[in-house]
Amino acid sequence: MKSYEEIKEEEFEFTKDYSDKKLNRYIKLCEFLIKYIMSELFFWIISLIPMALVWSVFILLGLFELDMLTVFLFTFGHLFYWYFYGKKDANKIIDESCPEFELRLRALEEIRKERNL
């Protein structure tokens, strides 16, 4: 993980040509990423996509019909996968990434304060 000073230097170089309005938008985007993208719900939804594709192949091949039982099996299968495997990986990714994102956000806030002086 990078240090706060390295992150601040990178962000300073990246945003040196930004106007105040564009810098504020960039900070809002970073806040959005931390709050919504780095959450278990986001990873749960993303893990639902491959499961849906697998079940779609089974339905298209005629192995299953699209009815309530199939939807129940699909939902149960995804919850089973999430409980035993997906949640651990999602938490691992979140724990590795969030501290650096928070340092980046703090550096951006400091850069904005320096510009406004």
**Is the pLDDT confidence value at 28 over 90?**
yes
Which pLDDT score is estimated for 59? 81
Segment 112-116 shows an average pLDDT of 88
- pTM listed for this prediction: 0.69
Express each pLDDT in 55-77 by its tens digit.
Answer: 888 888 888 787 888 888 888 98
Question: And the tokens for 112?
Answer: 């904005």
Which pLDDT score is estimated for 109? 92
Which pLDDT score is estimated for 117? 72
**Is the pLDDT confidence value at 5 over 80?**
yes
Q: Is 107 exposed, middle or buried (0-12, 13-18, 19+ CB in 10 A)?
A: buried
Are 103 and 34 within 8 A, CB to CB?
Answer: no
User: Within a 10 A sphere around the Cβ of 20, how many other Cβ atoms?
Assistant: 10
DSSP state of 3: -
CA distances to 43, 60, 68, 86 from 56, rounded to whole Å, are: 20, 6, 14, 20
Segment 16-28 shows an average pLDDT of 91
Q: Using CA atoms in the order 37, 40, 45, 46, what is the torsion angle rounded to 10 degrees?
A: 70
The string over 38-65, giving b where at least 16 C-beta atoms fall within 10 Å of a residue's C-beta and e elsewhere, is beeeebeeebbeebeeebeeeeeeeebe
